[in-house]
């Protein structure tokens, strides 16, 4: 009876097989079209996001290009400020050097050198004799004097060269104070040309806002002297370093704007395009959907018409049999319709239908319950795996990572806490922070903790005392964690060990100081060699050859000391390097003595002395004839004051030697300079058999 009632109710909605097949076509086609439409919408979204990302990447690339130009200018100015011409205030020499540097940079308008009171003393852009203006009122000049660091200006119009510029200035320190301010400026037109090269599409526009949000550059404009602003753009980007947004320009056109702010200069690079630029790809996809969908529907209808003609009559007979079955008739006649499935269905209609429905209901119920159980198990397993992965990752990190609740007790601490404090991480969980880090550390951190619990991300650095007396310098980050309602439930504490980095920075500064000391000593030595060589030379050629030879000897010794990081050198290696121009291995020299390390100061002095002795032997002594030779030996004796070295130079087989009638550079070096440098003794003899020189000095306690 229930089946009859359902059939009677459903009968007003019956339709022909042709209508059902058409519905089947639409039922199978429309989901495909719907899915295709979804894919196109999704693709439209992806394409739009890709275009937005391209705009943002273009803005980033433009910002990198502008930063590169500005950083290159800063680096060049910082290198130029080290010139010795500024040490002696030799402005003419510095002007020549500055001109050579400025000529290599096409984007520069010139170069200025300014006194701390703002008065320019050099301006390469000015005409000879032109009065130079005072720039004490320039904001960039004030910022350099206040911070002692390089600075980049906002958009400027030059006073000497009235063109739109961006100024770049660096301080010049002498004797611990700012002696000058060295600066240059880049042409805004050059920056505009660089942006035009990056933005190739005519639909795109690029530009830059300076640190005060004044429009400094626009690729569609040649004139920026009016110092215009774009309030709708400035307000949107004020509190973000980069991003993309949509807005209406002054003309009412909707634009997509990407921007990226420079940390170096505070300038913001922007690239915008009309919204239609982003929608072109979507329109092409929608047209493809319309054409393809229409073709698909027409093809399906044609196929449906052909199929209907084939099966309409057998189905009509099956429909009549079904009607009879519904009316209560059990004697359903056999059918030979030519459609096997129709004949089979007519014979098993009632039994198969009822059985299928029963099994379907049972299976659906089982599948629903199984799916619910598997989903619950999967979620639980994922949560457990996620927690285990987080703990494993946190334990593997070489930093201190913990989570602290609003009661200032640890909820979680990674294994690094155990390494630092010697307390198992499991015991730290639940421990008050004051009990672990101590009252003093808690007092120092309380203000930062209060800020984190107020919802602020906090970063600071401080020395951290650990159990056992060890002190480490750490960078501490407090990151608040909010609950579902937005309130702060606690904060993550991340402590990064900066101790080794601090030590490396201190060591680097020590090396720089040592390098400065070595350079000054070397320059003093070269100056002395030049002065003494010039005093004893009779002609410029003689001076040039002698001075060049001595400098080469000094340079080779410097190579040895540099290889040893100026911690000293082997005496044997110093001998080999000093006498290498005269082929120590050729048999003319007899070199013998134990190996001993000497300081850098002694190495330099000995190399100069050996070079002078060898040069004299080649010109006048034993090495001036084929049969002559030199014996160079040394001995080492250990004493309480250090290791005493006795080095002897003996020439033999050469022409008779007479004492010199005048004292040259070599004689003065050996008899006066060498004893003072070695803090030892030198005995120089001109015997008839050849020159003999005995050098006595102590190693082990000398000052470098």
The list of the chain residues with pLDDT below 50 reads 1-10, 352-353, 517, 524, 528, 585, 701-704
In CATH, the number for domain 553-699 is: 3.30.565.10
Q: Which residue reads 């973000």 in tokens?
A: 240
Model pLDDT, residue 114? 92
- Torsion angles phi and psi, residue 700, rounded to 5: 110, -30
CB 591 within 8 A of CB 562: no
What is the β-pairing status of strands 120-123 and 471-482? Answer: unpaired
Q: Read off the pTM.
A: 0.41
CB 412 within 8 A of CB 402: yes
Model pLDDT, residue 76? 92
In the DSSP assignment, the letter for residue 485 is: T
Model pLDDT, residue 286? 62
Model pLDDT, residue 577? 82
Domains 52-276 and 399-497 share a fold: yes
Model pLDDT, residue 236? 78
Model pLDDT, residue 3? 46
Q: How far apart are CA 55 and CA 43, in angstroms?
A: 18
Hey, what CATH class is 399-497 in? alpha beta
Model pLDDT, residue 517? 46
Model pLDDT, residue 149? 92
What is the β-pairing status of strands 642-652 and 690-699? Answer: antiparallel
Question: Structural domain boundaries of the chain?
Answer: 52-276, 399-497, 553-699
Q: How far apart are CA 344 and CA 328, in angstroms?
A: 20
Model pLDDT, residue 635? 92
Q: Which of 168, 158, 107, 153 is nearest to 130 (CA)?
A: 158
In CATH, the number for domain 52-276 is: 3.30.450.20
Model pLDDT, residue 229? 76
Q: How far apart are CA 604 and CA 601, in angstroms?
A: 5
């Amino acid at each position: 009876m229930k089946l009859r009632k359902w059939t009677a109710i459903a009968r007003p909605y019956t339709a022909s097989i042709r209508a059902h097949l058409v519905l089947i076509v639409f039922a199978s086609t429309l989901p495909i079209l719907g899915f295709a439409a979804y894919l196109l919408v999704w693709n439209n979204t992806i394409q739009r996001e890709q275009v937005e990302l391209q705009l943002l990447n273009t803005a980033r690339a433009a910002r990198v290009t502008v930063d590169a130009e500005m950083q290159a200018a800063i680096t060049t100015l910082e290198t130029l400020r080290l010139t010795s011409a500024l040490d002696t205030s030799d402005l003419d020499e510095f002007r020549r050097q500055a001109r050579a540097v400025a000529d290599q940079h096409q984007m520069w308008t010139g170069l200025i050198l300014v006194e701390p009171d703002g008065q320019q003393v050099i301006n390469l852009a000015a005409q000879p004799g032109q009065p130079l203006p005072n720039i004490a009122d320039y904001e960039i000049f004030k910022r350099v004097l206040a911070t002692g660091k390089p600075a980049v200006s906002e958009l400027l119009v030059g006073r000497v060269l009235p063109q739109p510029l961006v100024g770049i200035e660096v301080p010049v320190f002498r004797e611990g104070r700012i002696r000058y301010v060295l600066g240059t400026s880049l042409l805004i037109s050059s920056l505009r040309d660089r942006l035009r090269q990056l933005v190739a599409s005519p639909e795109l526009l690029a530009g830059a806002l300076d640190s005060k949000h004044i429009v400094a550059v626009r690729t569609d404009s040649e004139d920026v002297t009016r110092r215009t602003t774009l309030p709708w753009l400035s307000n949107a980007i004020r509190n973000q370093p980069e991003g993309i947004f949509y807005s209406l320009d002054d003309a009412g056109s909707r634009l997509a704007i990407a921007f990226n702010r420079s940390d170096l200069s505070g300038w913001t690079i922007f690239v915008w395009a009309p919204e239609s630029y982003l929608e072109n790809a979507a329109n092409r996809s929608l047209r493809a959907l319309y054409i393809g969908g229409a073709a698909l529907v027409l093809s399906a209808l044609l196929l449906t018409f052909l199929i209907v003609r084939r099966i309409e009559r057998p189905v009509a007979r099956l429909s009549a049999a079904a009607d009879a079955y519904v009316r209560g008739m059990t004697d359903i006649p056999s059918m030979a319709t030519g459609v096997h499935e129709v004949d089979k269905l007519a014979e098993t209609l009632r039994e198969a239908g009822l059985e299928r429905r029963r099994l379907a209901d049972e299976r659906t119920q089982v599948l629903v319950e199984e799916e619910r159980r598997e989903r619950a198990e999967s979620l639980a397993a994922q949560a457990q795996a996620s927690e285990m992965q987080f703990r494993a990752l946190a334990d593997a990190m070489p930093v201190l990572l913990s989570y602290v609740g609003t009661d200032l007790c640890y909820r979680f601490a990674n294994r690094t806490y155990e390494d630092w404090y010697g307390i198992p991480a499991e015991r730290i969980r639940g421990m008050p922070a004051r009990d672990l880090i101590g009252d003093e550390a808690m007092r120092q951190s309380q203000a930062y903790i209060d800020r984190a619990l107020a919802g602020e991300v906090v970063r600071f650095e401080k020395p951290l005392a650990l159990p056992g007396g060890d002190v480490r310098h750490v960078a501490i980050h407090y990151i608040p964690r909010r609950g579902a309602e937005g309130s702060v439930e606690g904060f993550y504490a991340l402590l990064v060990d900066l101790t080794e980095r601090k030590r490396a920075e201190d060591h680097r500064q020590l090396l720089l100081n040592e390098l400065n000391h070595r350079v000054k000593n070397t320059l003093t030595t070269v100056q002395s060699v030049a002065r003494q060589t010039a005093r004893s030379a009779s002609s410029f050629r003689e001076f040039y050859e002698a001075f060049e030879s001595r400098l080469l000897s000094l340079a080779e010794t410097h190579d040895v000391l540099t290889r040893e990081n100026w911690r000293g050198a082997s005496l044997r290696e110093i001998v080999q390097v000093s006498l290498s121009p005269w082929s120590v291995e050729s048999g003319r020299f007899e070199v013998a003595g134990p190996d001993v390390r000497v300081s850098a100061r002694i190495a330099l002095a000995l190399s100069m002395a050996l070079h002078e002795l060898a040069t004299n032997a080649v010109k006048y002594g034993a090495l001036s004839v084929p049969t002559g030779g030199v014996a160079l030996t040394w001995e080492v004796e250990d004493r309480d004051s250090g290791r005493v070295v006795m080095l002897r130079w003996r020439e033999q087989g050469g022409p008779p030697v007479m004492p010199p009638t005048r004292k040259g550079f070599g004689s003065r070096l050996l008899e006066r300079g060498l004893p003072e440098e070695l803090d030892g003794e030198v005995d120089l003899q001109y015997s008839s058999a050849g020159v003999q020189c005995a050098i006595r000095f102590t190693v082990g306690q000398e000052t470098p």
